[in-house]
Structure 1
Amino acid sequence: MCSDRREPHRRRGPVVVAVVTAVIALVAVAGWWWVPNRYLPWDTAVFPRIDTRATAQQRAVLEVLEVEHTRQRPGTFYAEGVDEQWCADFVSWVMREAGVPLVNPHSGHWRIPGVYTLEEYYGAAGRYEPAGSGYRPDAGDVVLYRNRLGFGQHTNIIASVDGDTAITVGGNESGRIRIHGLDLDDPAIVGYGRLPG
């Protein structure tokens, strides 16, 4: 004979909470692994003092960087109104304002919107130093990185160097201009664009 008695409803709440918590933890760990160490922690470095031995070009670049870090303008300002990834736009804009403009090899314009094109520009200008070449960057140089997952690149400007570490300033980092410490042995570094001179 069949019974009218129903099975008690099992509570799924604790299982769902456990699964959601595990997924959040996994995403956090994956994010921590994927975000390069040079980005963490953000803005803990104080903007460095300009070295009294700096050249006029280096001083000009560093002065523009410091002002822009303070102002925190939106990326479209540096990209001539274009809403795009703007790290290379920021580098181009700073160099132009500092009196050492870049020249886009495809358009002849001062703005170079892509990091790969930025690398191409420095190579054609004879001012590109690949990582592992023994070149030690200096203030005002541009550093080019590849992402850990092997696609895309990023760029910052070196504000100071102390031994095997540097302080960099870059745009398009969570929508802001940020200061970072950089280990010059970071395997993500592709190379450097030197200031002229």
Structure 2
Amino acid sequence: MAQGSVAAGGAVVARRTKTKPARTPGGKGSGRVRKWILGIALLTVFGVVGAASLAFVPVATVMALWCEITDRAPLAECTMTPGGDVCTGGATLANVPEPWAEIFTSAGDEFSIDPAYLAAIYLTENGNTWKDLDTDWPSSGCCFGPMQFNLGAGTWDAYKYSAGGGPPDYMDPGDAVFTAANLFTHTDGVYGSVTAETPLGDAARWDPGTFVYSAASYNAGPAGNWNNDETRRYVENVHALISSNFTQGGTGDYGQYATYPPPSGMGIGEGGDGDQGEGGGWAGCGGISGGGLDGVVRIAEQEYAKGIVEQPLGSNCGPTITDTYIASGCEQWCADFVSWVYLEAGIPFQPEAGTQMYFWRHQWQIPAVIGMKAWFESGGQGQEFIPVGSAGPTKPPRPGDVMIYSGHVSIVVEVDEASRTLVTIGGNENDSVQRSPGTFSVGPSGPVLGYGRMNP
């Protein structure tokens, strides 16, 4: 729920209600004389009170004046890149049902915030259940509507925002999501002021400047009592949803609180055997879908960019390594990393007749290199193993293939057939996720036995 006071001195923050959900930042409006007067008023605010007294002026007073003068949302938005390709959290909305996917995407475009962040907050507030838009939304003594705004703390009054014109309504899904986007992106020093560049962050470390920090504020209040099972459960679920592309909930130990289930409802998670239903199909950054071999490459690059390393070095452990790639414990984790990337891309490895022994922990994970090679060789789901002989591979590798050595695996992310060179990303390489050059026959870990290929 959206908690906490939002203005200096306890004043209610002024707000601007949009009459339409889309607008060119900095667009011109009418009422030039009124804007000149308001501009003088804004300068007066700074000139009269002086720096020493500025803290006693409600932040939203300045925000509202600026908004009226420039015919835009408050100042923070003016410096952002318009949305559409904002997906800093690494997830897509491929597993989000319509019309929710459209609502989150529209709000993301309007406020330059990753729409997956908004989707994760909605799900966490609603027990990871996708509900029809006309649901009779739950209300309590403090919190109301699909995004559970705390009316008493002033967050709704401060940031309420109409998605389609008319008076904002906290029970309206569009207005609630747009208001949450407005709150997250215009609250410097309160909820962290999320921007188009804000990373997801580590579920175990709620660092300022990450979305998990802002999610903790949304649940417990800005700089509130975050050291409690409820908030830890909340933040870890948000992180798990985005990290799993909305296929898994948080699975930690939260004392009296139950773990979150995988997302379900509106055709999601209702296909039997854990199959996901049809999602919103939002393309995400660069037009890459949530799944397929392009998704494999994108997710591998994303993990490399995070700079993930073992903690301590040489331990085969670490917050993301243990909790996400291995998903339980510590071990040599190169095959776990590859398995997880394919899961995230929506084309997980799955056991078939005669291969169940390779999946001894999770039904998507092949922890051993020898088992991964054997599974590709089995070919029961259209996968294939491409051997490498003295003349090289029998087929040229392609991005999204698994490079298989005698004791290591990694993911091919770039291929140059003319020079017969490539680039791979692999886990458990020098105690980290590494990006390395190689040839078709020899990679950074030595001679290549072959390539595992998925044919989705």
After the TM superposition, list the runs of 4 or more consecutive aligned residues in structure 1 that deviate by more than 3 angstroms: none
State the distance in 1 between where 2:306 and 2:451 align. Answer: 26
Higher strand share: 1
**Aligned counterpart for 1:84 among listed residues 327, 331, 337:** 331
| Equivalent AA in structure 2 for residue 129 of structure 1 | I
By how many angstroms is 1:58 displaced? Answer: 2.1
Aligned to 2:344: 97
Aligned to 2:387: 130
By how many angstroms is 1:124 displaced? Answer: 0.9
State the distance in 1 between where 2:422 and 2:455 align. Answer: 20
Q: Are the counterparts in 2 of residues 103 and 121 from structure 1 also a CA contact under 8 Å?
A: no
State the distance in 2 between where 1:111 and 1:58 align. Answer: 17
Which 5+ residue runs of structure 2 have no aligned equivalent? 1-285, 309-317
Aligned to 1:175: 431
Q: Secondary structure at the match of 1:67?
A: helix
Q: Are the counterparts in 2 of residues 87 and 171 from structure 1 also a CA contact under 8 Å?
A: yes
Q: Are the counterparts in 2 of residues 144 and 155 from structure 1 also a CA contact under 8 Å?
A: yes
TM-score, normalization by structure 2: 0.29
Q: After superposition, where does 1:35-184 map in structure 2 within 5 Å?
A: 57-73=292-308, 74=318, 75-76=321-322, 77-104=324-351, 105=355, 106=357, 107=359, 109-125=363-379, 126-132=383-389, 133-146=393-406, 153-163=407-417, 164-184=420-440
State the distance in 2 between where 1:143 and 1:185 align. Answer: 10
Higher Rg: 2
State the distance in 2 between where 1:160 and 1:131 align. Answer: 18
Which 5+ residue runs of structure 1 have no aligned equivalent? 1-50, 147-152
Higher relative contact order (CA 8 A, sep 6+): 1
Aligned alpha-carbon RMSD (Å): 2.5
Q: Secondary structure at the match of 2:405?
A: strand
By how many angstroms is 1:103 displaced? Answer: 2.1
Percent of residue pairs identical: 32
How many residues align? The count is 141
State the distance in 2 between where 1:127 and 1:192 align. Answer: 8
By how many angstroms is 1:81 displaced? Answer: 2.1
State the distance in 2 between where 1:137 and 1:195 align. Answer: 12
TM-score, normalization by structure 1: 0.65
CA deviations over 1:112-140 (Å, ceiling 9, x no partner)? 10000000110112511111252111000
CA deviations over 1:35-68 (Å, ceiling 9, x no partner)? xxxxxxxxxxxxxxxx99x9x6221111111211
| Equivalent AA in structure 2 for residue 64 of structure 1 | I
